[in-house]
Amino acid sequence: MPTCTIDGRQIEVPPGTTVMQAALQLGIHIPHFCWHPDLPVDGNCRMCMVDVEKAPKLMIACNTQVSDGMVVRTDTPQAAEAHRTTLEFLLVNHPIDCPVCDQAGECYLQDQYMDHGLHDARVEIEEKVQKRKVVDLGPIMLDAERCVLCSRCLRFEREVTGTNSFEFVNRGNRTQIATFENRPVSHNYSGNLADVCPVGALLSHDFRFKMRVWFLEPADSVCPGCSTGCNISIDHRDGEIYRFRPRRNPDVNKSWICDEGRALYRRIGAADRLRGARLGRGGDAREVTLGAALDAVAERIRAARGGVGLLATPQATNEDLFAFRTLAEALGARLDFRVGDPDSRVRERADHVLLRADRNPNTQGCTDLQMGRAGIAEIAAACRSGEVRALLLQGPELLESGLLEGVAVPFVAVMATHASPALGSADAVLPAALWAEYEGTFTNFERRVQRLKAAVPAPEGVSPRWQLAEELLRRLAEPLGAASPRDLFALLAHAVPDYSGLSYRAIGPGGRVLGAVEAAAAGGRA
Amino acid sequence: MTVRIVTVDRSRARGLGVRPLLTGLAITFQNMLRSLIGQHATIEFPEKKRNISGRYRGVHLLTVREDGTPKCVACYMCATVCPAECIYIEAGERPEERIEKYPTRSEIDLLRCVYCGFCVDACPEEAIFMSRENDLVGTSREELIIDRDRLVARGRLVDVGPGYRPEEHDVRRPVRIAALERLEREHGIVPGMPARSG
């Protein structure tokens, strides 16, 4: 394997590695615009110039392969001069409207100009070529003046989605990017265009003017939109979530997420979130404290012992599921989760990029924890025959599915996050926290266990599902004694053979794959 | 860091304090006699006001464009630099594509404000100045949270006159250079961006 020296530090890399990649492995940042780790190399921006010993001229780091004995310096006066002149050239027609630009704070142009810029501009603002601004392309806003013509958006559309919406038009200093007849970007991955754009030329319409990015704090999490489990950053400030951004994980989602997943941030602060417990249905419905509701639910379940059905939800974290499973085992209750057969679609693709047909984040976790036991049809039949006298649902799926239409179960309790008409047929509603409000893990389609971190606090009076199950266990049997999802995961890793030896620390930022997928698929259905 | 310790010797009795009492009375009588010939030591506030510096840092004002709308583009630079975190801004969209953005809300909590003037230094648009108004009174806390329209209306007030404002300010220069470097040089403060973890 070739060994090279970058800024005096040696590194051995596989053949074919570029100087840019080798430098990144060493933690050396080479300024760039057009290079992106998940897009093909283009080498058009000329920003990543480095000094290679014995080479007659500066070379671009992104497209120069490392050869044995290569000596590279990124900090010579020649390289700095190249960076400065490239930036000056890019800024000739740049509007410098950072105060109104949403990219400010995460802009490559801004950041690199601070390091390498020529701070006294030689071009008057009146002499600049004016291009199209505030062009509404549906989910994306285009500002052609801010564009550095790096072609990242073109390559994203060509290589990732295959939609080719963007093209360069005109020539010379009038070159700009455009869609045909200004048609809006219509595919499900448009949000990534704003992410790949290194400057403020393509910006998210949804995030427009909402918040300056330097106020936002990221929390590492996983998208709950489907079984792919794309890694995301939840950007929040003062308990409010402003946007999701893809978090790079080359093994799962690379640098992308779909627009459907990106839009899920609205669910968290939504107006229809449940904020209190409810007992009784129809005219008898009354708001009660969570403790009183749990007492009532526990009493009804105790009364119905032997005839209790528990339905888990693939929306819950592994920790929620484990606490729920423990509750089911303590009660000797019928347990299942497969409303609508999500486990049969967990690996089925919904498109050629990321989205999968199963829109639950943790169906595989349910399968791994053997939550599918009694069978949905059997539970429904037992409800009909009166064998099941109390149902405890971890999510509203069963009520929404219509499987219980015309069946009068004496007592139905449901843990739910959002108000919905289907909840009207429940006798008790326990308000549950959403996945962004507490720690946990999801297991994705390929059995990769991934961590979610809490981004914002849950609303007052709302508890995570694991805590609701733990409270019921405390009232009905022996509690697990877990004070946090971390404790629960330790218990889970002890109890479930596939997860043995795992801990939050061992999972790490990129997740951990359990065993072979095929083995799980074969043994998944009970 | 070295700590300077001052030791005060209080072991010796200081007398009855007659001498300092007399010194004080002498000053009082001096001023009384001066006032007889028209040289007053006090002014009749609030009817009369002292002539204060043109760079005085009093209550803020928002400058306006020719059409009377605020010059502010809601860039949040003032809110970012504010050490008291007393500036609250919400941004909205303007129809003009060369302006794009304006504040739909812009509030300053004058009770939290420490009148440091950093907001004026940070502003890339010369949109926020300070006035020389310093006699701030209100009957409730809410009254002293001053909103956008009141901040703009103050711009037309002529009786107090403008206070602290950027003397020479080139809007084309990056904000970070103009304001932040100066802060760092003069006060050793690097304000603004919180460190991003991860």
pLDDT tens for each residue of chain A, 526 residues long: 899 999 999 999 999 999 999 999 999 999 999 999 999 999 999 999 999 999 999 999 999 999 999 999 999 999 999 999 999 999 999 998 999 999 999 999 999 998 887 677 788 878 889 999 999 999 999 999 999 999 999 999 999 999 999 999 999 999 999 999 999 999 999 999 999 999 999 999 999 999 999 999 999 999 999 999 999 999 999 999 999 999 999 999 999 999 999 999 999 989 999 999 999 988 889 999 999 999 999 999 999 988 999 999 999 999 999 999 999 999 999 999 999 999 999 999 999 999 999 999 999 999 999 999 999 999 999 999 999 999 999 999 999 998 888 888 999 999 999 999 999 999 999 999 999 999 999 999 999 999 999 999 999 999 999 999 999 999 999 999 899 999 999 999 999 998 988 999 999 889 999 975 444 444 444 3
φ/ψ of residue A392, rounded to 5: -115, 115
Interface contact flag, B198 A233, Cβ < 8 Å: yes
Phi-psi map region of B192: left, alpha, beta (phi>0 left; psi -120 to 50 alpha): left
Nearest-Cα distance to chain A for B97, in Å, is: 6
Q: Is residue B19 within 8 angstroms of chain A, CB to CB?
A: no
The neighbouring-strand residues paired with A235 are A218, A243
A51 in Cβ contact with A74 (< 8 Å) = yes
Q: Which long-range contacts (CB under 8 A, 24 or more apart) does A475-481 make?
A: A475/A294, A475/A295, A475/A298, A476/A298, A476/A301, A476/A302, A476/A327, A476/A330, A476/A331, A477/A327, A477/A330, A477/A331, A478/A330, A480/A323, A480/A326
Q: Is residue B80 within 8 angstroms of chain A, CB to CB?
A: yes
- Interface confidence, given as ipTM, is 0.83
Q: What is the C-alpha to C-alpha distance for residues A41 and A62, in angstroms, rounded to an integer?
A: 7
Cα B166 from chain centre: 13
How is residue A58 written in tokens?
């500066």
Taking contacts as CB-CB distances below 8 angstroms, the residues of chain A near B102 are: none
CATH of domain A3-88: 3.10.20.740
The neighbouring-strand residues paired with A259 are none
Interface contact flag, A98 B174, Cβ < 8 Å: yes
Mutation site for A-interface testing, chosen from B90, B97, B180, B190 by largest number of A Cβ within 10 Å: B97
B104 in Cβ contact with B92 (< 8 Å) = yes
| Residue whose tokens read 């108000």 | A419
pTM (2 decimals)? 0.85
3-state secondary structure of A177: strand
Taking contacts as CB-CB distances below 8 angstroms, the residues of chain B near A240 are: none
Domain ranges of chain A: 3-88, 277-436+459-480
Q: Which of A84, A97, A101, A113 has the alpha carbon at shortest distance from B172? A: A97
Q: What is the C-alpha to C-alpha distance for residues A509 and A219, in angstroms, rounded to an integer?
A: 12
Based on the number of CB atoms within 10 Å of its own CB, is B37 exposed (0-12), middle (13-18) or buried (19 or more)? exposed
Taking contacts as CB-CB distances below 8 angstroms, the residues of chain B near A113 are: 174
Q: Which residue of B has its CA nearest to A233?
A: B198
CATH 3.40.50.740 fits A277-436+459-480, yes or no: yes
What single DSSP character describes residue A354? Answer: S
Nearest to B97 among A105, A125, A133 (CB): A133
